[in-house]
Structure 1
Amino acid sequence: MSDLFQSLAASASGMTAQSQRLRHVSENIANADTPGYHRKTISFAETMDGGVTPGPVDLDRSELVQVYDPSHPLADATGHYDGSNVDLVVEVADAREAQRSYEANLRMFDQARQMSQSLFDLLRS
């Protein structure tokens, strides 16, 4: 019985972690055109009970794109300003990966729930 509840807890923690990852990906996409914005990333760590926990949010310190627009208020004397380091292709790929991981955890959660329900039905009869 304990293994079923551990699998429920592990899949629930996976869904929570992936939902946080999706939130950061959506923030990155929303700020792709914000000058000086650094892409946010999140890492995960395994817990003692087999689940995952999100780690701290890190900022991607790669070079910011130099945008040429002399009419922009942030432009320097050469007409350039710092754009963001968000790559929309990478963000869409991360969003798809997080979505698929979330769905896999959801299926695992549903399977464990169905197994525990079947066990309770057997014990009742």
Structure 2
Amino acid sequence: MELLPALAISASGLTAERLRLDLIANNLANINTTRTPRGGPYRRQVPVFAEKLREALGQSPGQAPGRGVEVAAIVEDNTPPRLVYDPSHPDADPNGYVALPNINIVTEMVDMITATRAYEANVTVLNAAKAMTLKALEIGR
């Protein structure tokens, strides 16, 4: 395996997981946001990852390994908002229910742990590729 592509693949994974962690932090920060500029409660955001296509680089699938990952889109979760009875809230409907964001803190924490572990795995690969490069330079002396 060539080392520079390994570094590029790991770097793309680091970038994608960092964005995923940013979205999780944004979701948690807006867990009680009932009013957005578009109207209604905040909607949970999730990234959609896609493999960087080999064909875009002019290579057939059998020629080379993948080229990493990219964020294809950031989409809103379509689950309905949580309804909480609070007639004193300024955003309560006529029946006294407030539409809160569709964010589940347990889901966000599990996503945070998996994103952190994926980030750590990419750092490990990056460090291994760097160590192999240094060894190759030592051998070349």
So what's the TM-score if we normalise by structure 2?
A: 0.84
**1:44-55 to 2 correspondences below 5 Å:** 44-47=49-52, 48=54, 49-55=66-72
Q: 1:75 aligns with which of 92, 114, 138?
A: 92
Task: Report the alpha carbon displacement of residue 50 of structure 1 after superposing the two structures with TM.
Answer: 2.3
Q: CA–CA distance in 1 between the matches of 2:71 and 2:33?
A: 26
- Single out whichever of 40-49 and 23-32 deviates more from structure 2: 40-49
Counting aligned pairs with the same residue, the percent is: 37
1:19 match: 18
Local SS of the residue matching 2:2: helix
Task: Report the alpha carbon displacement of residue 43 of structure 1 after superposing the two structures with TM.
Answer: 1.1
User: 4+ runs of 1 displaced by more than 6 Å?
Assistant: none
Q: What amino acid does structure 1 have at the position aligned with 2:123?
A: L
Local SS of the residue matching 1:37: coil
Local SS of the residue matching 2:98: strand
> Normalized per residue, which structure has more helix?
1
2:61 match: none
1:41 match: 46
1:65 match: 82
RMSD: 1.1
- For residues 74-109 of structure 1, give each alpha carbon's deviation from its aligned partner in whole angstroms, at most 9, with x where no partner exists: 112111121110000000000000000000000000
Unpaired stretches in structure 2, ≥5 consecutive residues: 35-40, 55-65
So what's the TM-score if we normalise by structure 1?
A: 0.94
Q: CA–CA distance in 2 between the matches of 1:29 and 1:55?
A: 22
| Residues 1:5 and 2:7 aligned together | no
Unpaired stretches in structure 1, ≥5 consecutive residues: none
| Residues 1:114 and 2:114 aligned together | no
Give the length in aligned residue pairs: 123
Q: CA–CA distance in 1 between the matches of 2:69 and 2:94?
A: 48
